[in-house]
């Protein structure tokens, strides 16, 4: 066998859309400067501290309390958002009613509203003399200056993530799947559990993850309602700010690093879970 | 099971989709609902399935009122045009679905379900595919899985919506024969919807031709092919050449027409329209014939002739190319139809005095 394969065509295939080099370059530069560099700087700053000092900062009671509060409140907020967001998306997609478009638009308010405004409004409502607070406090349920307040604020600012992630997938779901399930004898709840829910699950998980990540980092809305009592209602981001104001750069960096790692871990787990949920789409014959 | 449908009507807004359907289907029958798109055949199928509801009429199966039953409780098998296999379930789980959603008291044990699924996979000749996802299957394989899923619950009636519509021609022919075999072996009653007359005629025991929300004709395939009952059916079955004729003593008369091959009809004298298939007309060269070959195009096996005749009539006929050697452009001919269908001309409808051989698109629903 001496015949070599013919040389590849010297003509490079032309791209249909021009400007790939330019747009890609700008995009990468932007990502580098705005997203990656700060993260890298943070990691480097954290690395300077050294492991022993790092753990000393983290295991300080005040830091631990702040991290614990942040995680727990974010978890509570996410559980609520997961349930309510799914319901909201369902109502917005599946039913027609007057004012549906207004309700749909309302869902974006938490995104559009400055978080400080949200925090102010929430603390006014839940304060002992506010509309909600006046009802709840006589029943012995205090929201402001407690973990509940923190969770309420987190939930408010991150609810649209779940709704907006699930809504388009639910809209695109082919009604034939449900009809098929019905003709096979499945009753409404079974149809939801076995046919609809698995279809929206990947998007739902994205929404939940984003909602949790946003709750972890929520600052503006929380500080108004939490009371910010050290060891009790002080969230991790606020503690990082306090450390910075005390010129304790290492302390601030260590807390920030911890939040970063939790967020990244979450993202990774969510992506893995999604890949698993979508494995049926992978190998296409 | 025997099904009977009476005076079924359905409208979507102002559009009447079904305008009074009466139909009876016997146990073990394989029935085709044949019609062009928009004829209401899929709506009828969905009403039988319980996925749509009529505005009026009755649907009974073995004496039970099915309109009072939800789709879940009708125990039917429905195969969707695009199969609607659950994408997140393996083939095995798709087929088992109908069994696994049965109420606890009726649900077979997991072992029995697995055995039933294995049996069906084998029966449908897709045994090696049990652990694949639908996205990993070809169209024909998906079709088989969809049928397996529908058959798993042992349906009282099997309903198929354009079962071969999304497949390529070769697979379509193979699956057609296979489906007939499955129907016979499973012993179900089957109704399928199609717009392809070849498919309907090859597969079905009885064909129901639908047009614009009405049943135009019900009969065995040959019966319908040979004796279309209405102008609509005639046109739909390819009798696209329409000649204005005059009936005299049961025989069609028109200038240049040799009706000797057509049987006499017991019909009143008067104006009528003769419907013919382009392939069932022989142009006979005749120097005094009123028809003239205006155009002759060869398609290889066939010679397609455009003929111009009296009163601005223009028709198209097809003859085997070798038989048509003498038929060059400018030649005058007589027409000798081998078979055809005659309908009295409607005073207010199409074909009255219009030139014959109108394109199909201009076909209006006559008031038959």
pLDDT at B331: 82
B98 touches chain A (CB under 8 A): yes
A276 touches chain B (CB under 8 A): no
Domain that includes residue A119, residue range: 24-279
Task: Identify all chain B residues contacting A280, using CB atoms and an 8 Å cutoff.
Answer: 87-89, 133-135
Using the predicted structure, report yes or no on whether residue A167 has a pLDDT greater than 90.
yes
Between residues 111 and 150 of chain B, which touch chain A (CB distance below 8 Å)? 132-138, 149-150
Cα separation, A86 vs B150, whole angstroms: 31
pLDDT at B337: 85
Lowest mean pLDDT segment, chosen from A7-11, A242-246, B344-348:
A7-11
The band of A284, judged by pLDDT with boundaries at 50, 70 and 90, is very low
Nearest to A176 among B71, B80, B137 (CB): B80
pLDDT at A282: 54
pLDDT at A14: 67
A189 touches chain B (CB under 8 A): no
The band of B97, judged by pLDDT with boundaries at 50, 70 and 90, is very high
pLDDT at A1: 45
Average pLDDT (A7-36) is: 79
A vs B: CB pairs below 8 A: 79
Lowest mean pLDDT segment, chosen from B17-31, B32-46, B172-186:
B172-186
Chain B nearest-CA residue for A198: B88
Q: Name the percent of chain B in helix, strand, coil, to the closest 5.
A: 30, 30, 40
Q: With contact defined as beta carbons under 8 Å apart, do A98 and A173 qualify?
A: no
Average pLDDT, chain B: 84
Percent of chain B past pLDDT 90, that is, above it, reads 17
The band of A86, judged by pLDDT with boundaries at 50, 70 and 90, is very high
Average pLDDT (A235-255) is: 89
pLDDT by residue (tens digit) across B252-289?
Answer: 878 778 877 777 777 778 888 888 888 888 888 888 87
- A284–B101 C-beta distance less than 8 A: no
The band of A98, judged by pLDDT with boundaries at 50, 70 and 90, is very high
Cα separation, A285 vs B141, whole angstroms: 11
pLDDT at B32: 92
> Within a domain: residue A121?
yes
**Looking at the domain that runs over B3-226, which CATH code has it been given?**
3.40.50.300
- A199–B72 C-beta distance less than 8 A: no
pLDDT at A283: 47
pLDDT at A150: 92
**Looking at the domain that runs over B238-354, which CATH code has it been given?**
2.40.50.100
Average pLDDT (A197-212) is: 91
A48 vs A191, more confident:
A191
pLDDT at B96: 92
Q: How far is CA B62 from CA A228, B3, B31, B49, B123, in A?
A: 73, 6, 17, 15, 28
Task: Identify all chain A residues contacting B75, using CB atoms and an 8 Å cutoff.
Answer: 185
| Structure token pair of residue B169 | 């021609």
Average pLDDT (A248-276) is: 87
Cα separation, B229 vs B164, whole angstroms: 27
pLDDT by residue (tens digit) across B314-357?
Answer: 888 888 888 777 777 878 888 888 888 888 876 544 443 334 44
The band of B249, judged by pLDDT with boundaries at 50, 70 and 90, is confident
Pick the closest to residue A154 from A59, A94, A226, A87 (CA basis). A226
Average pLDDT (B179-198) is: 88
Nearest to A185 among B49, B102, B138 (CB): B102
Average pLDDT, chain A: 86
Using the predicted structure, report yes or no on whether residue B366 has a pLDDT greater than 50.
no
The band of A5, judged by pLDDT with boundaries at 50, 70 and 90, is low
Q: What is the CATH number of the domain that holds A141?
A: 1.10.3720.10
B345 vs B368, more confident:
B345
Chain B nearest-CA residue for A182: B72
The answer for B344, left when phi > 0, alpha when psi is -120 to 50, beta otherwise, is beta
pLDDT at B311: 74
Give, for A194, the enclosing helix (H) or strand (E).
Answer: none
| Structure token pair of residue B34 | 């044949």
Chain A nearest-CA residue for B47: A183
Q: Which residue is associated with the tokens 């698995």?
A: A198
pLDDT at A168: 92
Residue ranges covered by each domain of chain B: 3-226, 238-354
Using the predicted structure, report yes or no on whether residue B63 has a pLDDT greater than 90.
no
Give the ranges where chain B is alpha helix by DSSP (H): 41-49, 91-100, 110-123, 139-151, 169-186, 197-203, 221-226, 231-236
pLDDT at A134: 87
Q: Which ipTM value was assigned to this complex?
A: 0.77
Number of domains within chain A: 1
Q: With contact defined as beta carbons under 8 Å apart, do B313 and B275 qualify?
A: no
pLDDT at A228: 84
Q: Which of B47, B49, B70, B72 to mutate to test the interface with A (most CBs of A within 10 A)?
A: B72
Give CA angle at A8 (A6, A9), nearest 5°.
Answer: 110
Lowest mean pLDDT segment, chosen from A12-26, A201-215, B352-366:
B352-366
Chain A nearest-CA residue for B137: A285
For residue B132, how far is the Cα from the chain centroid? 34
Chain A nearest-CA residue for B150: A184
E strands of B259-366, at which residues?
A: 270-276, 281-285, 291-298, 302-308, 314-320, 332-337, 341-344
> Within a domain: residue A40?
yes
From the CA of B117, how many Å to the nearest CA of chain A? 15
A198 touches chain B (CB under 8 A): yes
pLDDT at A29: 92
């Amino acid at each position: 066998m001496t015949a070599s394969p013919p040389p590849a065509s010297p003509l490079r295939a032309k791209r249909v859309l021009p400007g790939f080099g330019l747009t890609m370059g700008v995009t990468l530069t932007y990502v580098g400067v705005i997203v990656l560099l700060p993260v890298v700087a943070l990691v480097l700053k954290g690395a300077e501290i050294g492991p022993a000092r790092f753990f000393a900062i983290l295991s300080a009671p005040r830091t631990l309390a702040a991290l614990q509060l942040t995680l727990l409140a974010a978890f509570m907020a996410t559980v609520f958002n997961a349930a309510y967001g799914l319901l909201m998306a369902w109502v917005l997609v599946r039913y027609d009613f007057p004012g549906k478009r207004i309700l749909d638009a309302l869902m974006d308010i938490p995104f559009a509203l400055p978080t400080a405004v949200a925090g102010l409004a929430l603390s006014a409502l839940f304060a002992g003399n506010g509309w909600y607070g006046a009802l709840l406090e006589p029943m012995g349920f205090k929201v402001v200056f407690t973990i509940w307040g923190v969770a309420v604020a987190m939930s408010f600012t991150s609810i649209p993530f779940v709704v907006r992630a699930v809504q388009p997938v639910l809209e695109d779901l082919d009604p034939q799947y449900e009809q098929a399930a019905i003709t096979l004898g499945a009753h409404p709840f079974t149809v939801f559990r076995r046919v609809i829910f698995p279809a929206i699950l990947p998007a739902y998980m994205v929404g939940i993850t984003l909602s949790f990540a946003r709750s972890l980092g929520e600052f503006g809305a929380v500080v108004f309602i939490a009371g910010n009592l050290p060891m009790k209602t002080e969230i991790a981001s606020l503690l990082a700010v306090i450390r910075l104001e005390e010129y304790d750069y290492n302390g601030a960096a260590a807390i920030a690093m911890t939040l970063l790692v939790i967020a990244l871990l979450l993202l990774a787990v969510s992506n893995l879970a999604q890949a698993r949920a979508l494995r049926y789409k992978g190998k296409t014959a | 099971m025997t099904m009977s449908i009476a005076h079924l009507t359905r409208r979507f807004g102002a559009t009447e989709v079904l305008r009074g359907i009466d139909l009876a289907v016997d146990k073990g029958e394989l029935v085709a609902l044949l019609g062009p798109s928009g004829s209401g055949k899929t709506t009828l199928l969905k009403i039988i399935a319980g996925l749509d509801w009529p505005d009026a009429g009755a649907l009974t199966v073995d004496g039970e009122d099915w309109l009072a039953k939800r789709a879940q409780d009708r125990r039917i098998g429905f195969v969707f045009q695009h199969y609607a296999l659950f994408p997140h379930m393996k083939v095995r789980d798709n087929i088992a679905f109908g069994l696994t959603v049965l109420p606890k008291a009726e649900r077979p044990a997991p072992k029995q379900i697995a055995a039933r699924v294995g049996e069906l996979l084998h029966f449908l000749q897709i045994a090696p595919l049990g652990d694949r996802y639908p996205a990993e299957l070809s169209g024909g394989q998906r079709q088989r899985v969809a049928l397996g899923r529908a058959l798993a619950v042992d349906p009282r009636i099997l309903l198929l919506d354009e079962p071969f519509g999304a497949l390529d021609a070769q697979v379509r022919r193979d699956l057609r024969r296979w489906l007939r075999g499955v129907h016979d072996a499973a012993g179900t009653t089957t109704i399928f919807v199609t717009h392809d007359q070849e498919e309907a005629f090859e597969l079905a025991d009885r064909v129901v031709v639908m047009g614009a929300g009405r049943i135009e004709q019900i009969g065995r395939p040959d019966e319908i092919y040979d004796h279309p009952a209405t102008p609509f059916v005639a046109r739909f079955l390819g009798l696209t050449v329409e000649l204005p004729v005059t009936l005299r003593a049961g025989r069609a008369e028109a200038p240049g027409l040799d009706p000797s091959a057509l049987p006499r009809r017991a019909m009143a004298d008067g104006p009528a329209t003769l419907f013919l298939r382009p392939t069932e007309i022989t142009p006979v060269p005749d120097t005094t014939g009123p028809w003239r070959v205006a155009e002759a195009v060869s398609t290889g096996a066939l010679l397609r002739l455009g003929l111009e005749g009296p009163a601005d009539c223009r028709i198209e006929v097809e003859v085997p190319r070798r038989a048509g050697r003498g038929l060059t452009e400018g030649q005058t001919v007589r027409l000798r139809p081998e078979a055809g269908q005659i309908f009295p001309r409607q005073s207010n409808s199409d074909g009255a005095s219009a030139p014959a051989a109108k394109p199909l698109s201009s076909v209006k629903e006559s008031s038959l």
